[in-house]
Amino acid sequence: MLFSLHNKKAAITGAGSGIGLAIAQVFAQQGAEVYILDLNEASAQAAVQSILDQGGKASAYACDVSNQPQVKAVFQEIGTLDILVNNAGIAHIGNAENTSEADFDRVMNINVKGVYNCLHAAIPLMKAKGGGVILNMASIAATIGIPDRLAYSTAKGAVLSMTLATARDYLKQNIRCNCISPARVHTPFVDGFLSKNYPGQEAEMFDKLAKTQPIGRMAKPSEVAYLALYLCSEEAGFITGCDYPLDGGFTRLNN
């Protein structure tokens, strides 16, 4: 079977919903034993149940990725690892003037330190097994200017740089590291954002946001998951240190 993950153990952060959940479900379908890490334990448990109902293997862990002792404890409990997907993250809207220090620190702690914490805890497990694959979730905001996304863009730029640094540092340990940079993806977060900020105008604003992608729509979480599957499979064994825009033409075709 192409893109098989049989006998692979995969930890996925922020996998209680959205993109992380889609990745967990696809990985489990392809035979991986999936470890779902999420701040919301109820969401993590529900995600696990959705995988178990389809005959897959999964376990849930309540985990705040910004808390290093907590992250280390979870990975020590997992014990062995083949794949790490650093997906957990938060969004933020604001520029240099109206972004508070507290909000900036919160975005950095989760979106940047959270990735570092998981790398710090997972890489020794991969080295012990003789190799592994790391996939980080960056964003097109890492490489192009998006209005009112100062903290978020800064954080995702750091994730892209950590991807390159990690790929370089662990070449000889047989650990590959890549990242995906999505544009807008239709997740529950988008629906919640629209209902909170544009009550009564959800459909109109959704259509407006969707059309900012030249392809004319937002990505589906499953489309991100399928690219993640490829990059974490043996078929992508020659790929490391790469960033993959998954953006409906946003980066190159938006004139």
Positions marked active-site: 152
Backbone angles phi, psi at 179, to 5 degrees: -140, 155
What's the rounded Cα separation, in Å, for the pair 132 and 19?
A: 21
- Give the CA angle between residues 52, 56, 61 to the nearest 5°: 65
Q: Classify burial at 87, counting beta carbons within 10 Å of its beta carbon; exposed 0-12, middle 13-18, buried 19 or more.
A: buried
What's the rounded Cα separation, in Å, for the pair 21 and 172?
A: 31
Position 32: which residue type? A
What's the rounded Cα separation, in Å, for the pair 135 and 243?
A: 10
Backbone angles phi, psi at 130, to 5 degrees: 90, 15
Position 9: which residue type? K
What's the rounded Cα separation, in Å, for the pair 139 and 183?
A: 6
